[in-house]
Amino acid sequence: MYRPRVIPVLLLKNNVLVKTVKFSKPNYIGDPINAVRLFNELKADELVFLDIQASKNNNSISLDLVKKIGEESNMPFSVGGGIKSLDQIRDIIAAGAERVIISSQALKNPTFIKNAAEIFGSSSIIVCIDVKKNFFGKLKVYFKNGSHATNFSPIEFAQLMESFGVGELIIQSIDRDGTMAGYDIKLIKSISEIVKIPVTALGGAGNAMDLHKVWKEGNANGLAAGSLFVYQGSKKGVLINYPEKNDWLTP
């Protein structure tokens, strides 16, 4: 039976792990390398690391940290944060990352995605689409860690990125980030039904049932989450964890 990937998404700020709520109020979680070791033991499918301040600060994710993650990780991992040049992509992949995740630069210069896909292959390039409702209640794509709005609807931008050769999309709901209130399944489904490339859902997962629902109802290929894998209990005590397969495969 087809089984989607279950992917912990780990946020970085100043090279330490944090967790946000609706892209704000970062809460310290711990050391990223220690988290990698724990996910090695838990046999996670893959990991995602996102530097949440790189684009705002006009820099990129630490190459030294990427190398350390590559030396420690037993699983594929992807990284993102401030990537805006082909040389950066080349260096990050050489440091051990399987794929790069691009967000702000995809909006500023969409042809950059086309060039990157042609040089490194579509399978190496992921675009993360950050989505939230604007003042008028319309879903729009945002960039620079959710601080700048665009006129793109999520569907329009997803189709554009697919046409430019991206290998996968991460669809992230800013409004649900860190809430643990469930994915925006309608959003995920609207995109997964209109593009042919893999779609990974992110934002809002609070339990194993949320993973199951976005897989079955949202047609997601990847099930990504942050809080679900770093918190435990209603008081959100920090605990690195990962679900057993049978915890979410069946309702």
d(CA 155, CA 193): 10
Considering 130, 177, 184, 210, which one is annotated as catalytic? 130
Active-site residue flag, 175: no
Q: Is 164 helix (H, G, I), strand (E, B) or coil?
A: coil
d(CA 122, CA 113): 9
Q: Give start and end residues of each alpha helix (H) in the chain.
A: 32-42, 63-72, 86-94, 104-108, 110-120, 154-163, 185-192, 208-216, 227-230, 245-249
As beta bridge partners, residue 49 has 10, 79
d(CA 224, CA 124): 18
User: What are the distances in angstroms from CA 221 to CA 79, 190, 210, 250?
Assistant: 19, 14, 14, 16
The tokens for 1 are 């039976």
For the annotated catalytic residues, the residue numbers are 130
